[in-house]
Amino acid sequence: MLRFGTDGVRGVAGRELTPELVLALGRAAARVLAAEGGAFLVGRDTRLSGPMLQAALSAGLAAEGIDVVDLGVLPTPGVAAVAAARQLPAAVISASHNPYLDNGIKLLAPGGHKLTDAQEETIESLLAGPSGRADARAGAGLGRLTTDVAAGQGYCDSVVAAMEGRRLDGMRVAVDCANGAAVSTAGVILAAAGADVVAVLGDSPDGTNINAGCGSTAPQALAAAVVREHADAGLALDGDADRVIAVDDRGEVVDGDRLLALFARDLHERRRLAGDSVVVTVMTNLGFHRAMAAAGIGVVQTAVGDRYVLEALESKGWSLGGEQSGHIVFRDLATTGDGVLTGLLLLDLLARRGEPLSKLAAAVMVRLPQVLRNVRVADHRGLEAAGPVWEEVRRVEEELSGDGRVLIRPSGTEPLVRVMVEAGTEAAASGAADRLEAAILAVLGSP
């Protein structure tokens, strides 16, 4: 049975995410999210399987009498922005930072918001039953399929408007579009804001090279370009451009934790940080928490996934949250993470501060060494009851004595246990991770 993860439904296109399944998902989404006789927006990234799955989803929507508006290749935040402007539900055909063989369906409620648990559960229950219906539509009762590729320009304009009239003239920037959905928007937005785009990487998608050795998961080529072109900063996006990893003027990577710390401090000092608090996930580095405490900024922690960050921001009425992976949410400006918006606001921060990113990023927080392990096991579902594992966790935490932390959690999609250890030194973190990995394998077994 299809199950929603933290960011929609994903799988190997054609094998797990089949056209038949996606057609049924379209019918179910129409019944739950769309108004009778209404419309539904659909956009996608550059994967080879995108048009196939978009056609299947659109067929399911149209079979329920819903008009489908094809937005073409457009980043997830772009689709969300159009949905917000038109108060319509939407879908994005994308698997974000995953390789091209994977694909996914991200559904957005009317207004461009992530689905609630209740909405996801209702859609899943409909998929468990028959896909057809006794009162099947025909003729004029079927939905119409139209295209509106110009809608992307409105999204670009809205991102530039976040600058509040300020300009980036003289700012040199390199950008890596990950051979993904931002190929037609990132350069346009940066140039419109006045930036001098001195290098563009990952801008030749062929359907199979999305995220392949480029983008936010592989920023090495971008780092080299920043140094070579004497750029002020580099922006590495992912396949659907809802996240960004930055590169400073020295070619050093600046992850989501440091970006979020920079934005939180800047907004706090300008009295524009709602609630004087920021929302993060359990993966956020302990150094971030310490830096925010020193600055008088509150921190609320959620489970991994930008949907949980968004839920917390909405419930508290706060303005800023994000993840170490580079999902940064400016709730006053967007309904989801937006890599290009984040990059633009980072450049604006640099221009206003008049200092290089390398200096600002180094000063904003001291990052504790963090070791991540994906431990493949025979059955990760037994983790909760694995007493010896949790006893080893307790011993490690006692040894760290508040100068580090441990996080162990089962993967939501694979037979993996994810281990994260932070400690005062890389050696201490690695040694603790070794012990925890051994304890996990001893109880849960190798695959």
Report, as residue numbers or ranges, the catalytic residues: 96
Report residue 232: phi and psi, to 5°: -75, -30
Q: Is-contact 9 104, C-beta < 8 A?
A: yes
User: 372: helix, coil or strand?
Assistant: strand
Which residues, in sequence order, are bridge partners of residue 175?
A: 200, 235
Distance CA(446)–CA(442), nearest Å, equals 8
Helices 76-86 and 151-161, interaxial angle, to 10°?
Answer: 90
The DSSP H or E segment spanning 82 is helix 76-86
CA distance 160 to 191: 10
User: Within 199-255, where are the H helices?
Assistant: 220-228
Three-state DSSP class for 201?
strand
Residues 297/268, Cβ–Cβ less than 8 Å: yes
Amino acid at the residue 370: Q
Q: Token match 């493949």: residue?
A: 376
The bridge status of strand 90-93 relative to strand 39-44 is parallel
Q: From residue 161, how far is each of 166, 327, 344 by CA, in Å?
A: 9, 20, 11
Return contacts of 141-145, CB within 8 angstroms, 24+ apart: 141/65, 142/62, 142/63, 142/65, 143/61, 143/62, 143/63, 143/64, 143/65, 143/66, 143/67, 143/68, 144/62, 144/67, 144/68, 145/58, 145/62, 145/67, 145/68, 145/70
**Cα 383–chain centre separation:** 27
